[in-house]
Every structure is written in structure tokens, then in C-alpha cells.
A and B are shown apart, each in its own frame.
Chain A
Amino acid sequence: MKFDVKTLETDALVIGGGTAGCFSALTIAEHSSLKVLIADKGHIKRSGCLAAGVNALNAYIGKGETPESFVEYVKRDSENVIREDLVYSIAKGLNDAAEKLEQLGLPFLKDESGSYVQRGKRSIKINGENIKPILAEALRKHENVSVLNYVNITEYLKKDGTVIGAAGFSLRENVFYIIYAKKVICATGGASGIYKPNNPTFSRHKMWYSPFNTGAGYAMGIRAGAEMTSFEMRFIALRCKDTIAPTGTIAQGIKAEQVNAKGEEYVSKYGKPTTYMRLYATVMENLKGNGPCFLKTEGISEETEKELFKAYLNMAPAQTLKWIERNIGPSKENVEIEGTEPYIVGGHTASGYWIDADRKTTLKNLYAVGDAAGGSPKKYVTGCLVEGEIAALSIIHETDDSKVSKLDSNEEKHLIQHVLHFFDNTDIKYSPPEIEQAMQKVMDEYAGGITTGYMYNKTKLKMAAVRIDELLKIAEDTKVHSLDDLLNLHETIDRLHVAKVLIQHLEARKETRWKCYQENCDYPNKDDENWLKYVNSVYKDGRVQIILRDLVGRDSRYEHTN
């Protein structure tokens, strides 16, 4: 297959034009004349997590709360292992980010005094169906921003340990892109599809997290030797059964409690109702034979039901379709709930790039923001915006008019061959989707998927690690025939690299406190001394090296030193 090579140059390259990436680009455009290029594998008008819309802004400092109390809440909910400094810097910017969204045109619910109406202590009500089109439109007005839609980025360009851009290929035509940049922002979101999903057959992509966020940004960083943090703190969502639609709308919105098959409220039997405890309690009730579990909605008014229909249309239309086509709405029948397969998502838990206060990664000139960046759980949409802004301001501050470094022509050739060599392979035994499903099966069975109630032990993890390495070898030798195949295979390899690192993180944290997210059954006891550490890793010479780091306090300004 022949490819044209296009070489581009920009000041800032944003990889992934989702929530965080678009906001980084917008901030740079509004506050400087730097040239910004966004490359996205979809079209930024609807790409990423928020293609269908967003339900509520779930990170906000509500009445009576402060940035300090927000940090305390995230700390409590995550059993103390968070980057307090990062969470604090986000907390301080949340409300401005919400206001900015309103200025851009997002509708907010307001009370008589003009204040935003809260859905809980830290959440506000909006109509978020149009959030991505609004962000994309805001960018269109800036001449210094250009966008490459449907271009999949696969590798960073590196010179003397510094990131000098990234490379990828068009999903629409045979064009290979080499993009040189003074600063690069990784905003590719998190990773879905590592584990066997709830609906593994026809509706295999009816999952919570975007199936098109395949962990590419993590994988590129892993391969380039960037330090990663807290992959073992997986995120598992508690969702409406089958449609995998959010439960917060019902649980928080109309305060529906979780009940088991006998109609008993069950979460309080297990402990404080933290995010993971509500999930864990549901898993345990099912294991004990008390399932299925439900959100108790029976008896709500018809008017409330109608509003729920609309609220779900604005972010998870499958749920409304399900109610309507069965002609039984939530007022007549409780809503069944289940846990999803595990995801790696830095916007919900703490997994991702290890970053400093400016959101710089450990690779020079590379930043990470949003779901790609680690350390600060519960960022959600507004937190991702704040993080995008922090990185953007640092880039504006640090970019001078020096020249962009380049690879020499041999290095460029080698890179193109590295990304495209799959066309020249001969092995056709397994297709990329088959390799992906094999990975999902092994992760499900041996690395704590749905099948085992999310639990695992050392022996299982070892077996998973061996199989993931085998699958990586198979993938490397597999032949592709088309651009679709090429994308699928790169996505599979990226997911395999994420899985490889994840397994080592799961092994390294010898505890069970983050129920479901991280339950290493060889170590059922609490071990505070080792618990209060970050599990980080660097991939080097084919091996994942684990680094344990001390916790960083709220008021420190963290810089990479070693």
C-alpha cells in the first residue's frame, strides 16, 4: 500500500480534540498568537466521551463547599491516595470553567436569584446534549487553530529524550502525517475495551466509556518511556443494566435508593456509601444470591418519569428507547443496575500520566490533560477543562520563537516503516478483532474482570501477563489489508500495552481497600504503610519497572526531579 507523507509544523500540537483537548486549544488561541493544531481520530464536533452529550457538571464547588472541602471529599472517596496538589488546583478553577461553558452557550438551570441549581453538593444541572458542538464552534472562530479530523495518532516523535511532535495516519485516505511541534498535549482520553464488556456479542460497543478511546495516549507514553501512575485504580461504573446508561440521574436526581431482589436497601450493610462501595455492595449482593439489584423508582410521578425520559435522551438515548419500546417506564418498574467492565480513566479515578503542577509529563515538552492524566480522581468535565487550561497557560508561558527540532530523513523513514509495516506482514491466522477479544477474555478471567467479581491474585496475574505478551507478539506479526485493519490493529496493540502495564500495577499494590477497583486477594488485610504510596511505572527495554512514590500534599508545587 502506498502512502503520501505530509509533514506539518505547529507551535502546539493537541492530540485528541475531546473535552480537555478542545479547551486547551481554545485557551491557547484566546490568550496568544501561537499556532495550534488539533488531531483527532473522529470529528471534533462529536468526538470523545461526550458524543451523546453530558448529563450534569459533576465537579463544582456548590453552596457551603470550598476548594479545600472538595479536596477532602476526593481524598475520603479515594482512601487518601490522590495527588492532593493536583486536585486542589482543579478545585480552584471548577466554577470559572462552568461559567465559561455558560458564556460559550451551554444552557444551565438557574433559580430565581440567578444561581445555578445544584443536583448535589458538587454537581449542577445543565442541558449538555450540545457540549461538543459548542466547543468545536468556539474553536472555529480562531484563525490560529487548525484541525485534522479523522487522523489517528500512533507515536510521539522524540529527539534526545524530548518530544518534538507526533505521527499518525488518516483514516480516510492513504496519507501519513508527521507533525512537528514545540509543545505537545496528550488529550486522548482513557482506555476502554481492555476487559470483556457487559454485552460481548452484537452490542459489544454498548459500553459506558467511549469504545473509540482505546488508550492510545497512554500506550504512546508507555512506549516512549513516560512515567505512569495508579493504573491499578481502575474505574468500574455502576450502570443501568444492558443500556449501560448512567445511574446518577436517578440516584442523585430523584434520590432513588439501591434495593436488592427482596426490596431491601443494602448499601449501608457494607459501609460508607462511597462511589466504589455502592458498586461493591451490588456485586456482593449478587454473589450472595440477593440479586438482581435495582434503583427503586416504582411509584415516582408521571411527570418525573417524563423528565427522566428527556434527561436520558440528552445523554444516553438507549435507556429512553428501552422504556418506551417496552411500554414500562421507571414509575412502574424499578431500574436494574450492574457494574461495568473495568476501564482506565484518569478523569474518574487516578490512573494516567504522572504529571507535575503544570501538567507536564516526565517527557520533556509533553503535557497530559483530562482522562489521560493521572493523580486526580473526580475531574469530570469541568475538571478536564481546568486541566486543559493549566497546560495551555504553561505552554503560552514557555514557548519561544526558537526553531522546531526535526528528525533526519532516515529517522522519518524508519518511523513510517514502523507504523505501516503491518501491510508487509504475512501472518493472517488471526484478525485484529480476534486478538482484541482474546485479550478481553484473558483480562476478564485472570486480571479481575466481571466474571470473577473483579477479584484476582498473584497467580492469576502471572498467567494474564504471559498471555498478554504472547498476544503482543501475535499482533506485531499480523498482516493488515486496509486502513480499517491498520487502525484496529494499532488500537489492539495500544490496549495490549495498557494491559501489560496494568497487570504489573495490580500486582504491585498489595491491598484490597479500593473494593472492586483493586482487590488483590492475596492481601486481604489493611497495610497503611504501603497503602499510602503511589504505584508508578516506567516501561524500559521491554519491562515494566515499578516505582513507589511518597504522597504529595495539597499545598506543594510538584516538579519532576528524579
Chain B
Amino acid sequence: MSIQIDKNKCIACQKCSNICPGNLIRIDQDQKAFIKCPQDCWGCTACLKECPSGAIKYFLGADIGGRGGSLFTQDHPNHIDWHFITKDSKNHKIQTKKDESNKY
């Protein structure tokens, strides 16, 4: 499991690079973000939630049952939208409200 950064969507704000708990995200010569060693990612999603342009996608490695789908987020003041893109392009959105507690 790891992340992929879409350079075309990246607006070079560097927010992801300044949040990763493992210091894994670096900035290239065009000021765009990239992940230095994808195998080192913990999958905490801190970078996704920070990204203003939905450029960072989270996926499960093949070794842990990944099927080629991915996940990106849009952070809003009171909620987070989690967008799932599955291999057969059936898209799915789940919204979690920031002030609402887990039921379980």
C-alpha cells in the first residue's frame, strides 16, 4: 500500500511534503511533489487530506489484496469527502463529518 502523486494535478504547494510523518514526500525541480520510496509509506493518509487539488491517490499494494482501485480525499471545513475509484470505474463517495463521533 502506498500513494501516487499525479504531477499534472499537483499545484506545487508543498503541503504534503510538510506533513508526512515519515518525511517521504520530496519536491522536484518543477516544485512538484513526489514520493521518494513508495514502499516506505505507512498509509496514514495525512498527505491526501492536506492536498488541495486531489493529486494524491492512495492504493493497496498487490501483496495486500489490492485490485487496482484507489482513494483520494477532499478536505472541507466541516467534513472530508473520500472518493473511491474502483477498477471497473464504479465511483463511490463517503462523507465523514468532522464533528460527528464514530458509532463503533
Contacts and interface: CB of A to CB of B under 8 A. Distances in A.
Contacts of B104: 119, 125, 249-250, 252-254, 304, 307-308, 311
B64 A210 contact: no
B102 A484 contact: no
Interface stretch (A73-81, A199-207, A526-534): A199-207
Interface in A294-328: 304, 307-311, 313-314, 317-318, 320-322, 324-327
A202 B22 CA distance: 16
A321 B102 contact: no
B42 A206 contact: yes
A325 B63 contact: no
Interface string B53-89: 0000011111111111111000000001010101100
A46 B39 contact: no
B12 interface: no
A324 B86 contact: yes
A27 interface: no
Nearest to A307: B103
Contact of B63 (A109, A130, A202, A254): A202
A52 to B, nearest CB: 4
A450 interface: no
Interface string A330-365: 000000000000000000000000000000000000
Contacts of A47: 21
Contacts of B87: 325
Given A52-B46, A321-B69, A326-B67, A313 B82 contact: yes
Contacts of A45: 19, 46
Contacts of A310: 94, 96, 102-103
B10 interface: no
A507 interface: no
B94 A51 contact: no
Interface of A: 41-43, 45-48, 51-52, 55-56, 107-109, 117, 119, 125-130, 149-150, 171-172, 199, 201-207, 210-212, 242-243, 249-250, 252-254, 304, 307-311, 313-314, 317-318, 320-322, 324-327, 484, 487
What bracket does the count of chain B residues touching chain A fall in?
35 or more
B31 interface: no
Interface string B11-30: 00000001111110000000
A295 B80 CA distance: 28
Contacts of B64: 199, 203, 206, 242-243, 318, 322
B1 A203 contact: yes
B36 interface: yes
B99 A107 contact: yes
Contact of A199 (B58, B63, B84): B63
Contacts of A108: 101
B69 to A, nearest CB: 3
Interface of B is mostly: loop
Given A199-B63, A202-B62, A205-B43, 7 more contacts: A46-B21, A126-B102, A127-B96, A206-B64, A243-B60, A252-B104, A324-B86
A202 B39 contact: yes
A119 B101 CA distance: 12
Nearest to B104: A253
A52 B45 CA distance: 6
A314 B62 contact: no
A320 B1 CA distance: 13
A151 to B, nearest CB: 10
Contact of B22 (A201, A212, A308, A326): A212
16 contacts: A117-B101, A127-B100, A199-B61, A201-B61, A203-B1, A205-B39, A212-B21, A242-B64, A307-B104, A317-B58, A318-B60, A321-B70, A322-B64, A322-B65, A325-B60, A484-B36
A201 B80 CA distance: 31
A45 B15 CA distance: 12
A318 B43 contact: yes
Contact of A109 (B36, B42, B97, B101): B101
A148 B61 CA distance: 33
A321 B100 contact: no
